[in-house]
Amino acid sequence: MLAILPRLRRFAIGLSGNPADGDDLCQMTIERALTNREKWQEGTRLDSWMYRIMRNIYIDEGRASTRRVQTFVDEEAGLSVGADGGQEAQVELTNVDRAMAKLPEDQREAVLLVMVEGYAYKEAAEIVGCPVGTLNSRLVRGRDALMEILGDGS
């Protein structure tokens, strides 16, 4: 579990939109995984199991904090505009964060699982608990929205 922790944390931060909420989400996930350790089925992938726990917690409990995330990201974006040195990189990072934050949850998790975590569509669909076709269309809508916001990526 320690070995997959950095990846889990990346997913958590991506889902929740900022490191503080991401780490909270990650901690809740670890606690729930430890509590339910006997439910993990041997022979199945531990990482997929934990991603599933994480996205369920996020869906169940993360909604309350969505508004807070939005405020936090906007505030940070505002602050970084005035910062000097590495300013461009900082602004670009924040643009991605802001673009991600604008996506609906189902599109955001699809984008993260496939495009950041590198899961195949089938695996991502299993984590999310939806048909592959549904995941595919969420992914496309999420990508189109991101490309629209970020300027087509080229």
Q: Are 103 and 146 in contact (CB under 8 A)?
A: yes
CA distances from 83 to 20, 72, 88 (A): 21, 17, 10
Q: Tell me which residues in 13-42 interact with other proteins (CB under 8 A).
A: 13-14, 19, 23, 26-27, 30-31, 34, 37, 40, 42
Helices within the chain (DSSP H only): 5-16, 19-35, 46-61, 66-82, 87-102, 105-111, 121-128, 132-150
Check residue 88 for interaction with other proteins (CB under 8 A): no
Q: How far is the CB of 29 from other proteins (least distance, A)?
A: 9
Binding site for other proteins (CB under 8 A): 1-3, 5-7, 9-10, 13-14, 19, 23, 26-27, 30-31, 34, 37, 40, 42-43, 46, 93, 96-97, 111-112, 114-116, 120-121, 133, 136-137, 139-140, 143-144, 146-147, 150, 152-154
